[in-house]
Amino acid sequence: MVKQSAPKEELVLLDMKEILRRHAACRSQVEAILRKMLDEFTKAWSRGDIEVACECYGEAAIYISRSGGIVMEGKKYIIDRYHETYPDAATRGVLKLDIIDFQMGLFFKDDLPTTVTTNLRWTISREGEEDKIGPCLEVYQMDENGKYYVVLDAS
């Protein structure tokens, strides 16, 4: 008796015209997903719920500080670093994240790109201080259930 294996997903090579068509068809949906994720992150951050804010990170996410001096791998280490660096409301401030632009990858699952790269601008407002503003690059990867997670955060 020959044992049959589970069907494998078929990799389909798309031409550039089809990729561009798919990008155009799903761009607003992807942007809405990103905005929702960023909104959930900033609300949780601003109320001090770092664990909930970091639910958007993949378990093996990589964080690179904008100086390049701090590189962390793993959601747990990112959470720990956030707690250490921003222990209270005064240091955390109120966070705002704006999407400057985003690019979608070439591979699709369920009509959505499996990878999205964002160019963000963060603003932290703290009582009695000028706002701090900086750039952020984040890469999102879709998991097997169709949910996006941050796999790289360079901010």
Long-range contacts (CB closer than 8 Å, 24 or more residues apart) made by 12-18: 14/106, 14/108
C-alpha distances in Å from residue 70, one per residue of 11, 76, 153, 154? 37, 15, 11, 10
C-alpha distances in Å from residue 93, one per residue of 67, 96, 122, 125? 21, 10, 12, 5
Total count of domains within the chain: 1
Residues 148, 146: Cα–Cα separation, whole Å: 7
Task: Locate the DSSP E strands across the chain.
Answer: 57-64, 71-73, 94-104, 108-109, 112-113, 115-125, 132-142, 148-154
The predicted pLDDT at position 91 comes to 93
* Mean pLDDT value across the chain: 89
148 forms beta bridges with: 142
Domain region containing 38:
16-154
- Residue 6 lies inside a defined structural domain of this protein: no
- Residue 2 lies inside a defined structural domain of this protein: no
The predicted pLDDT at position 70 comes to 79
- Residue 7 lies inside a defined structural domain of this protein: no
Q: Quote the pTM value.
A: 0.86
- Residue 55 lies inside a defined structural domain of this protein: yes
Compute the average pLDDT of residues 38-48: 96
The pLDDT confidence band at residue 13, using thresholds 50, 70 and 90, is low
- Residue 1 lies inside a defined structural domain of this protein: no
- Residue 147 lies inside a defined structural domain of this protein: yes
pLDDT in tens, 69-117: 778 899 999 999 999 999 999 999 999 999 999 999 988 898 899 999 9
- Residue 10 lies inside a defined structural domain of this protein: no
Compute the average pLDDT of residues 126-132: 95
- Residue 106 lies inside a defined structural domain of this protein: yes
Residues 140, 142: Cα–Cα separation, whole Å: 7
What is the residue type of 133?
I
The predicted pLDDT at position 83 comes to 94
Residues 96, 66: Cα–Cα separation, whole Å: 17
**What's 123's domain CATH number?**
3.10.450.50
Does 25 score more than 60 pLDDT? Answer: yes
Does 138 score more than 50 pLDDT? Answer: yes
